[in-house]
Amino acid sequence: MYTQALDLPDNAAAKAAAPASHEAGPMARFEACIDADGRIEPQDWMPEAYRKTLVRQISQHAHSEIIGMQPEGNWISRAPSLKRKAILIAKVQDEGGHGLYLYSAAETLGTSRDQMLDGLHTGRAKYSSIFNYPTLNWADVGVIGWLVDGAAIMNQIPLCRCSYGPYARAMIRICKEESFHQRQGYEALLTMMQGTPAQRALVQDAVNRWWWPVLAMFGPPDADSLHSGQSMRWGIKRISNDDLRQRFVDATVPQAKVLGVSLPDPDLTWNEERQHHDYGAIDWDEFWSTVNGNGPCNRERLATRVKAHNDGQWVRDAALAHAEKQQRRAMKEAA
């Protein structure tokens, strides 16, 4: 349902299509590789603006995964059964892993993890607006899986075809895991919807609260999207913010029907002419206020993250001391 083809282009052919080094400068070779839908690798020459855009997007994406562990992590100790607890622990751990793949991909562009984390911890770097909303009841955990992971997959499948090789490759594994995350959320909600009226009411309440922030998660409308034009020209983004949002709405409406919940938008209707659903106006003031640090949980999320980082200092110190000891031993043995 979420896939838009995972077939990857023939990189060798694309690179061969690029003019040879004696014929053209690095910019021409870069452009030719992008035009032929090839992959740019870390050792390849790239314009500084391309590098900067990638570091911005990949590090923001990594920060989102790491901060995104918090809303659901909040429910690990209160999961309603051992099975749900085990699933949730695995999911939250996956999000941490996604952050690590993505930091590694960004590091290949010459930015250190310390620099990226400093950006996050000092509030200079962005992370997804969606993780600044609270998880008030157990159904929120299911709704995050169904809607937030569902939106993330919709946005991230095209990134498997991103022109920067390390990012594209990281995204393939991430998307496979996100797909499991989406299904576990939907399954948890289906179970609740077969339960008591109180359980069904919890699901509906969670859907009502998350629907609009999830739609905003795809980013500003195309007309206001600062980076989309250039990022699409470079093959970093493949599908625009509005087009992804529309695909998500179209995919989610039938799922809501099966689940038996209503989506909180009186303007949501099928448009026969467009062959898409029309939907109501998104509150962009709320979006920007959240992005700029004033959402319901921004301060709490950042404070929790900074504390976790500081509390983990002894682990990093111990790992470094161990690595140094091993290196000294290896040098002594080699001498």
Q: Which of 220, 262, 280, 304 binds ligand FAQ (CB under 6 A)?
A: 220
Cα dist. 71→11, 83, 218 in Å? Answer: 39, 19, 19
Q: Which of 152, 168, 170, 192 binds ligand FAQ (CB under 6 A)?
A: 152
Q: Which of 144, 192, 206, 214 binds ligand FAQ (CB under 6 A)?
A: 144
Q: Which of 59, 64, 111, 184 binds ligand FAQ (CB under 6 A)?
A: 64
Tally Cβ neighbours within 10 Å of residue 22. 5
- State which residue, 68 or 166, has the beta carbon closest to ligand FAQ: 68
Q: Which of 15, 85, 113, 126 binds ligand FAQ (CB under 6 A)?
A: 126
Tell me, what amino acid is at 42? P
Cα dist. 204→87, 95, 199, 208, 256 in Å? Answer: 22, 26, 9, 6, 10
Tokens of 37: 């839908």
- Provide the minimum distance between the beta carbon of 57 and ligand FAQ in the complex, in angstroms, as a whole number: 4
Name the residue number minimizing CB distance to ligand FAQ.
68
Residue 317's Cβ-count burial label (10 Å; 0-12, 13-18, 19+) is exposed
- Provide the minimum distance between the beta carbon of 162 and ligand FAQ in the complex, in angstroms, as a whole number: 9
* Residue 217 binds to ligand FAQ (criterion: CB under 6 A): yes
- Provide the minimum distance between the beta carbon of 298 and ligand FAQ in the complex, in angstroms, as a whole number: 11
d(CA 80, CA 222): 41
d(CA 252, CA 282): 17
Footprint on this chain of ligand FAQ (rule: CB under 6 A): 56-57, 60-61, 64-65, 68, 95, 126, 128-129, 144, 148-149, 152, 155-156, 217, 219-220, 225-228, 231, 237, 241, 291
